[in-house]
Amino acid sequence: MADIKADGVEEVVVLPLYPQFSISTSGSSFRELQRLRQADPAFSRLPIRCIRSWYDHHGYIEAMGGLIARQIRAAGDPAGAHVFFSAHGVPKSYVEEAGDPYQREIEACTLLIMQRLERELGHTNPHTLAYQSRVGPVEWLKPYTEDALHELGEAGVKDLVVVPISFVSEHIETLEEIDIEYREIATEAGVSNFLRVPALDIDPTFIAGLADLVQEAMAGPEVNLDQAAELPTRVKLYPQDKWAWGWNNSSEVWNGRLAMVGFSAFLFELISGHGPLHALGLL
């Protein structure tokens, strides 16, 4: 915000680095920007154009297809290699109760990428879509990545091309969760060739696609923050919004509370020397 004002910016294009819209990602970012806009007269006067999602943009599809095709060709059996899309999950209630379009956009994006691959490779590879990074006690979108990996291993899949479909850069959920944790699960399940597609990062086709998105947004109709964050009117609150009495029903928040309760109980038992872990011989 300080940089925008210091640089004398005259127009803002909001480009979330989330290809698919979700309440918990682009949606929360748009709402935070709206809060800042309402609190700052200088910011409130700036024209804003928002890009809600771009899961079907040609630059994104082309860049993903190119990276995946290279890994398929590196497989022992390119025509039989199984393409495994692992997307970041969201609570099921976001989709069913709040009308979050995330799952629909992920599924549509997966099909577009597979069509792109078929055009380049000349054959159709089998593929699976699953969801990772689940936290908390509530049900998230299924199938879960770890369960799907077990099923594919049991089905005899050997060449697995793993695609971090909802991530555009490398971070803990690709470098640790996929590359280490899920690789281990897949190997134990019988997959012998685990080929992970790199994140887009600074892929030239991807960067050119982002530039196209900004140019298209500036040339097209204005989409403001309210329009960008809009959900079906049948639900007024986002799942992570506060209830009237001050509690918050976000799965992430509840997960944090449960973790604190568990940690406090562990700490108490460690200090007191009594409790279920001692009874089981674990402490």
The average pLDDT across 57-62 equals 98
Which percentage of the chain shows pLDDT scores above 90?
Answer: 73
Q: Does domain 58-196 have CATH number 3.10.20.740?
A: no
* CB atoms inside a 10 Å sphere around CB 180: 10
29-38, long-range: CB within 8 Å, 24+ apart, which pairs? 30/225, 30/228, 30/229, 31/225, 31/229, 31/238, 33/225, 34/225, 34/226, 34/229, 36/1, 37/225
Residue 204 has pLDDT above 60, yes or no: yes
pTM of this prediction exceeds 0.85: no
Q: What pLDDT is stored for residue 86 in this prediction?
A: 98
Q: Where are the domains of the chain?
A: 2-54+204-228, 58-196, 248-283
pLDDT tens for 167-179 read: 999 999 999 999 9
Residue 234 has pLDDT above 50, yes or no: no
pLDDT tens for 115-133 read: 999 999 999 999 999 999 9
Which range among 12-16, 192-196, 256-260, 279-283 shows the weakest confidence by mean pLDDT? 256-260
Which range among 55-59, 137-141, 194-198 shows the weakest confidence by mean pLDDT? 137-141
Mean pLDDT of the chain: 88
The average pLDDT across 69-81 equals 96
Q: What pLDDT is stored for residue 136 in this prediction?
A: 86
pLDDT tens for 3-32 read: 988 999 999 999 999 999 999 999 999 999
